[in-house]
Structure 1
Amino acid sequence: MTSPDTTDLQPPPGCPAHGGTHPGPPLYGADYAADPMRTLDALRGDGPISSVEIAPGVSASLVTDYRIALEVLRDSDTFRKDGRTWQATAPQDSPIIGMMMYRPNCYHADGPRHARLRGAITDSLDRIEPNTLRTHIERSADRLIDTFAGEGEADLLNQYAKILPLMVIQLLMGVPEEPGSRMIVAMTNVFDGVEPEKSNAELLGILLELIAAKRAEPGQDVTSWMLQHSAQLTDEEMIHQLVLLLGAGVEPTQNWIANALLLLLSDDRFAGDLAGGSMPVDDALVEVLWTTPPFSNFCMTYPTRDVEFNGFVLPRDKPVLISLTAVNTDPALASETRAGNRAHLAFGGGAHVCPAQSPARLITSVAIEKLLDRLPDLELAVPADQLTWRPGPFLRALTALPLRFPSVPVRSDETTGDSRWNDKPVPPSSTPPEPTSSPKQQASARSARPRWLNSLVGWWRGQ
């Protein structure tokens, strides 16, 4: 990587890297969704970085080379997460603004602020006891399976994979049963675009009530631990952190579950019936992260200066995306064994690597194990090539996963068990409170719905 002398770099007319008239191929629409690798392979053939169109009239640079992706992800001084300069010039009615717009959470923060906000999340997630979490996942999975086990058919995406992570995160966050049920409905409606304004308002109200309740009476849950953390998060910061946990924890996990189930049910290496398959389920989970990761193109950054890679200029303040699908299938890695190999970039890399990998992996593996235990004769209700995928540029996500199976009787225990996770004291933060942070304003988040919440539908759907 070199920093060019801009006086010596005069891009040719129409250069897509400098916002010319040729933004590159689209990473959206039905044709792209049906076969994204056709587009990604063509781009890779033209070089390690390409100009692409991520929405009508919105261009970006896309990295398809594994080595360059690592350099970008690890250089947080040059490739920053704060994209407000670009956002100010982007079309505000674009469908991708909701996904890319700046929010004051750890994902969009850099430097000391990022370390402070992220520390509150990672230290709190680290307090979760895995065996207790597994028990909660199994009980939640049983409750969901009971709703369709006797029917002989189900849409496993919308009836199971989409709801299970929400149920588990509700427990992690310490949301009581009644508002927790409303939160699941509101979040599901947000994902589906059903009455978005009403659903957004419902979700915000539940989170504000949760924060107030946990400040008054802390519990053994992630929300309480974050509030007690030495990062000293304000109510506004807590809202953004919790929304990040919900959006980033639910959407990728549901797609990981669905994509892994599709692989298990459609790939001959698993011998068709799962029980006699030649590859264990865990290998399928890893393979999905390599070949069809839940986020296909993501990890947006914005260069602080013009940066050149192999003759391609990444312009200052213009979005750079990593094609996680393309870099994970980089031909340079083809000789490496993928079974058990965790060198993929499905969770990103560098300082902003996903902090919730372990809970997500446990939710996904237990979800599939429990489903195969309860419904061992699952099969696709339609051929795999007739399934449809959501058309946005960011996610590799099915619209539905219809399955059929011999009906089985309901058998689960309706109790949810102890909601406590452990009794360890609040850990000291590795990062002190940010000196320049503003003092807490307990009521500031209650006066009106923040503008960013209006875009949650686009953010979570990735369209």
Structure 2
Amino acid sequence: MTTHPPAQQSFSLTVPVRLWEDGFAHDPHRYYAALRAQGPVGWGELAPGVPAYVVTDRAAALDLLQDTETFSHDPRPWETTVADDSPVLGMMRWRPNALFADDGEHIRYRRSLIDVFDRVEPHDLRARVHRAVRLLVGRFGPRGEADLVGDFARPLMALVFNNLFGLPDSQGDRLERGLAKMMEGGAQAAEGEAEFGAYVLELIAAKSERRGDDLPSWLLDHPAGLTAEEVTWQIFLTFGAGHEPTANLVANALSRILGNAEYYSTLTSGARPVTDAVLEVLHHETPLANYGVHFARSAVSFHGAWIRAAVPIVVSYGALGHFAEQAATGGRHPRDASHLSWSAGPHACPVRQHTLLIATEAIERLTQWLPDLEPVVPRDSLDWRPGPFHRSLTALPVRFTPRSPDQPGESS
């Protein structure tokens, strides 16, 4: 059992750092510094009246993520302590899927997800991404201007996931709206959760009636024998964990690339791989900034803090990346895997290679078709969406020479 008894901190008199404030989206590093000043485990607030322990130290994060005896992923004891209309419930309420399960149940759900995603060959996924990029560039390319969040990163993921899940392109806008509301954890969070839930329920009902060559059908027929309800919640998890963070990864990487003209030229010339830019975001501006929610099975001393049961413990991947960037790297190459954006331990992301492929292929193909992308707004003036969980741009406006992917000589 993880225990660090010296210098326990109860947080009884500590004012929580409010990660739900608008100021957090604008300047998260100031909030991370306030949390870090409290020690490896800080005292924060995910929504008004919803406190949480926030881990900002790498060693403490690894201990938390790897200790399945002391900590659980099951939020049901906590749920009884929060209001039914709490804006963070959409991201944190219990569902029978791999994210909120422990032990054997978790292994069963996780194994089924790994197995069905293993059926998606890299060349097939690459082709799906290329198709989506081509479709989107066909929409905004002739205009000579675009918002790479609203016109590219977010609809790209809706197109790719709908394609993998056997849904038509026309359903993409509906998927985006529900997920965005739920992820931000604001006043519309419950509405977004309901919209997204209805979307998934309709999908599973259709696939239960008639199978296809797609992920939901493969899950329904998996040897693990998942019920239709269990499949519904694995798909709910896959959509949520795959769409929003990957769209934000693409947008955040593009903002870093375009914000540095010299860096951009090395990527478009092929002197430096796009993967480097994507991994830099995972290190220092990770799209899922605060998550990895755990709960102590009973009160426990942990890295100098006294942790109560039924109170969320959140890993601040954003803080970990920020303080790692400030520290001396000792010559660390940006392609190493020392970041924790994929989490760690038994609940580490099971499809990280799929995510990396989608992000890198999307950026590479976009910059091949539109090699003279130019940001309209300086990077330090961009706006970020509110919410305690993500690091997500509201928009990334660019201009470029108008062109279409169907022009002679263009990439195909």
Structure 2 residue aligned with 1:164:
156
Query: Matched residues in 2 for 1:371 and 1:121: separation?
Result: 29
Structure 2 residue aligned with 1:138:
130
Structure 2 residue aligned with 1:207:
203
**Per the alignment, in what secondary structure is the counterpart of residue 37 of structure 2?**
helix
Does 45-54 or 193-202 show the bigger shift? 193-202
Q: CA deviation at 1:3?
A: 4.3
**Per the alignment, in what secondary structure is the counterpart of residue 122 of structure 1?**
helix
| Residues 306 and 41 (structure 1), Cα distance of their counterparts in 2 relative to 1, 3 Å cut | same
Which amino acid in the other structure matches residue 212 of structure 1?
S
Does 74-83 or 42-51 show the bigger shift? 42-51
Residue by residue, what CA displacement relative to the aligned partner does 1:204-259 show, whole Å, maximum 9, x if unpaired? Answer: 45313332234xxx443222221221110111111111111111110001000000
Query: Matched residues in 2 for 1:167 and 1:311: separation?
Result: 46
| Residues 115 and 271 (structure 1), Cα distance of their counterparts in 2 relative to 1, 3 Å cut | closer
**Residue 371 of structure 2 is aligned to residue 390 of structure 1:** no
| TM-score scaled by length of structure 1 | 0.80
Structure 1 residue aligned with 2:361:
366
Does 336-345 or 152-161 show the bigger shift? 336-345
Structure 2 residue aligned with 1:443:
none
**Residue 209 of structure 2 is aligned to residue 183 of structure 1:** no
**Per the alignment, in what secondary structure is the counterpart of residue 403 of structure 2?**
coil
Q: CA deviation at 1:184?
A: 1.5
| Residues 362 and 132 (structure 1), Cα distance of their counterparts in 2 relative to 1, 3 Å cut | same
| Residues 117 and 100 (structure 1), Cα distance of their counterparts in 2 relative to 1, 3 Å cut | same
Q: Match for 2:61 among 69, 77, 80?
A: 69
Q: CA deviation at 1:276?
A: 5.0
Q: CA deviation at 1:102?
A: 1.0
Query: Matched residues in 2 for 1:296 and 1:197: separation?
Result: 20
**Residue 322 of structure 2 is aligned to residue 326 of structure 1:** no
**Per the alignment, in what secondary structure is the counterpart of residue 81 of structure 2?**
coil
Q: CA deviation at 1:56?
A: 1.1
* Contiguous gaps of at least 5 residues in structure 2: 182-187
Structure 1 residue aligned with 2:402:
407
Which of 1 and 2 has greater Rg? Answer: 1
Q: CA deviation at 1:127?
A: 1.4
Q: Match for 2:255 among 262, 283, 292?
A: 262
Q: Match for 1:50 among 28, 36, 42?
A: 42
Instruction: Say whether the 8 Å CA contact 1:54–1:60 is kept in structure 2.
Output: yes
Structure 2 residue aligned with 1:307:
300
Structure 2 residue aligned with 1:456:
none
Which amino acid in the other structure matches residue 88 of structure 1?
T
Q: Output aligned runs, 1:180-259, within 5 Å.
A: 180-193=168-181, 196=192, 199-200=195-196, 203-204=199-200, 206-214=202-210, 218-259=211-252
Q: Output aligned runs, 1:279-294, within 5 Å.
A: 279-294=272-287
Residue by residue, what CA displacement relative to the aligned partner does 1:174-227 show, whole Å, maximum 9, x if unpaired? Answer: 33xxxx23431321231355985984475145313332234xxx4432222212
Residue by residue, what CA displacement relative to the aligned partner does 1:71-96 show, whole Å, maximum 9, x if unpaired? Answer: 10011221110011011111332221
| Residues 66 and 162 (structure 1), Cα distance of their counterparts in 2 relative to 1, 3 Å cut | same
* Contiguous gaps of at least 5 residues in structure 1: 414-463
Query: Matched residues in 1 for 2:58 and 2:192: separation?
Result: 38
Instruction: Say whether the 8 Å CA contact 1:139–1:412 is kept in structure 2.
Output: no
Between the aligned residues of both structures, percent identity stands at: 37
Instruction: Say whether the 8 Å CA contact 2:245–2:287 is kept in structure 1.
Output: yes
Structure 1 residue aligned with 2:184:
none
Instruction: Say whether the 8 Å CA contact 1:298–1:321 is kept in structure 2.
Output: yes
Q: Match for 1:95 among 77, 83, 87?
A: 87
Superposition RMSD in Å: 2.6
Structure 1 residue aligned with 2:185:
none
Which amino acid in the other structure matches residue 411 of structure 1?
D
| Residues 367 and 393 (structure 1), Cα distance of their counterparts in 2 relative to 1, 3 Å cut | same
Query: Matched residues in 1 for 2:197 and 2:344: separation?
Result: 34
| Residues 327 and 240 (structure 1), Cα distance of their counterparts in 2 relative to 1, 3 Å cut | same
Q: CA deviation at 1:279?
A: 4.1
Which amino acid in the other structure matches residue 316 of structure 1?
A
Does 199-208 or 105-114 show the bigger shift? 199-208
Instruction: Say whether the 8 Å CA contact 1:3–1:306 is kept in structure 2.
Output: no
Does 30-39 or 303-312 show the bigger shift? 303-312
Query: Matched residues in 1 for 2:407 and 2:358: separation?
Result: 18
| Residues 125 and 96 (structure 1), Cα distance of their counterparts in 2 relative to 1, 3 Å cut | same
Instruction: Say whether the 8 Å CA contact 1:63–1:323 is kept in structure 2.
Output: yes
Equivalent pairs, count:
398
Q: CA deviation at 1:293?
A: 0.5
Q: Match for 1:81 among 73, 78, 81?
A: 73
